[in-house]
Amino acid sequence: MGGGGSTRRVTFEADENENITVVKGVRLSDSVIDRMKEPSSPGGRQPRGSGAVNDEELKKRIAEELALERARRDSEAQKRRLFGKLLERERISSNEHLTRAILRERAATEEERQKAQRF
C-alpha cells in the first residue's frame, strides 16, 4: 500500500528571513494545515526558548501528516475496491437469477405453445 507510484518531488526551502519553511510539491487539506498550526506540546504552549518551530521539527510534522493522509487514502481506496467487488458479485448473482427466470419462462411458453398445438 504505497503512495500510488507518484514521482513528485518535495522540496523544503527557507524564506529570506529564515523564519518560514516553504514546502513545494505537496498538496495539503485544510484540516492537515490546521493540525500543523496547533502547538505540539501538551498544555497548548510551545517549549520555552523556542519562538519558532525549527526546520527539522516542521519537516517531521509534515512527514507525519503526509503519512497519515496517505494511510487514510489507502484505506479509502481499499474500501472502494472491496465495495466494488461486492457490487460485482451482486450484479453477477442478479444476472444469473434473471437468466434462470427467463429460461423458465421460455420453457413454460414453449410448453403452452405445444399444448395449444395439440388441441
Ranges of each domain in the chain:
55-118
Determine if the pTM surpasses 0.75: no
Tally of CA atoms within 13 A in the half-sphere of 84 that contains its CB:
6
Q: pLDDT digit string (tens) for 102-113? A: 999 999 999 999
Q: pLDDT digit string (tens) for 40-82? A: 655 544 444 444 568 888 888 899 999 999 999 999 999 999 9
Give the Cα-Cα-Cα angle 46, 49, 55 (nearest 5 degrees).
70
CA-closest candidate to residue 62, choices 86, 42, 37, 41: 37
